[in-house]
Chains A and B, each alone.
Chain A
Amino acid sequence: ETGVTQSPTHLIKTRGQQVTLRCSSQSGHNTVSWYQQALGQGPQFIFQYYREEENGRGNFPPRFSGLQFPNYSSELNVNALELDDSALYLCASSPSGKSSYEQYFGPGTRLTVT
């Protein structure tokens, strides 16, 4: 059973550019959540997707958007990058049902905006 994977590992972008981060969920998991973790902070919830539909959103502007595909892999897109978007981006997958509280995290993508 493969775990949650994310790509790329590291990324450097310039302010104003757009970025796409990718996540492959753990086998059998149909829910994926994305988090932003700034240095010295805990993960901040961006949004969650369940069966390709957005199922909850945190306090992030619309330039943060996502997609979930039929195979339950997903993308996080960020437009008009700002310096404060520099952070570790984590995705986490979870199964449906009672155990959906238990999320399995990927290693993250480190985004640096210059």
Chain B
Amino acid sequence: DQQVKQNSPSLSVQEGRISILNCDYTNSMFDYFLWYKKYPAEGPTFLISISSIKDKNEDGRFTVFLNKSAKHLSLHIVPSQPGDSAVYFCAASKPTGNQFYFGTGTSLTVIP
């Protein structure tokens, strides 16, 4: 049972434009959400997170939006750079914080 879903396996964006990666979840108990970035042959790297008490969190070029009523979050990257090309995973956690549920990932390609 996939409780965190990323329905777009891949996304291509021109350099300088906005990249929007989407994630949906089914479990209303999730209270913390994270985005990870993964390059080939490396483990996922933490990118940005958001608590369920917020609807937006920003860190430089990266912004995560959370819509609790729709059980949807998105990651915006502005402006997109070729170095952003990677697989992006969203993940969610319940209040206990001891189990993380990952989506299947979206492969982002930023075209120079």
Interface, chain A (partner B; CB < 8 A): 4, 33, 35, 40-45, 48, 50, 55-56, 58, 90, 92, 100-108
Q: Which residues on A sit within 8 Å (CB–CB) of B74?
A: none
> Hey, which chain B residues are within 8 Å of A41, CB to CB?
104
CB of B99 within 8 A of CB of A103, answer no
Instruction: List CB contacts (< 8 Å) of B28-45 with chain A.
Output: 32, 34, 36, 41-45
**Is B65 interfacial (CB 8 A cutoff)?**
no
Inter-chain contacts of A103 with B (CB < 8 A): 46, 100
Contact status A108-B89, CB under 8 Å: no
Indicate if the CB atoms of B41 and A107 lie closer than 8 Å.
yes
Q: Is the CB of A55 within 8 A of B44?
A: no
A33 to B42, CA, bound (A): 17
Residues of A within 8 A of B93 (CB): 101
**Known contacts A45-B99, A58-B99, A100-B97: A105-B104 contact under CB 8 Å:** no
- 4 closest A-B pairs (Cβ-Cβ)? A105-B43, A42-B102, A56-B98, A43-B102
| Bound complex: CA A43 to CA B46 (Å) | 14
Sample of 19 further A-B pairs with CB below 8 A, known A48-B98, A101-B34: A4-B43, A35-B102, A42-B4, A42-B6, A43-B44, A43-B89, A45-B99, A45-B101, A45-B102, A50-B98, A90-B44, A92-B43, A100-B97, A101-B49, A102-B46, A102-B49, A103-B100, A105-B45, A107-B43
- How near does chain A come to B98, taking the closest CB pair, in angstroms? 4
Per-position binary interface string of chain B over residues 62-100, scored 1 when its CB falls under 8 Å from any chain A CB and 0 otherwise: 000000000000000000000000000101010011111
- CA–CA, A33 and B41, complex, Å: 19
B4's closest neighbor in chain A, by CB? A42
Which one, B34, B89, B96, contacts A56 given CB within 8 A? B96
Q: Is the CB of A42 within 8 A of B104?
A: yes
Residues of A within 8 A of B42 (CB): 107
Contacts of B97 in A (CB 8 A): 100-101
Q: List 30 A-B contacts (CB under 8 A).
A: A4-B43, A42-B4, A42-B89, A42-B102, A42-B103, A42-B104, A43-B44, A43-B100, A43-B102, A45-B101, A45-B102, A48-B98, A48-B99, A56-B98, A56-B99, A58-B99, A90-B44, A92-B43, A100-B97, A101-B32, A101-B34, A101-B97, A102-B34, A102-B46, A103-B100, A104-B46, A105-B36, A107-B41, A107-B43, A108-B43
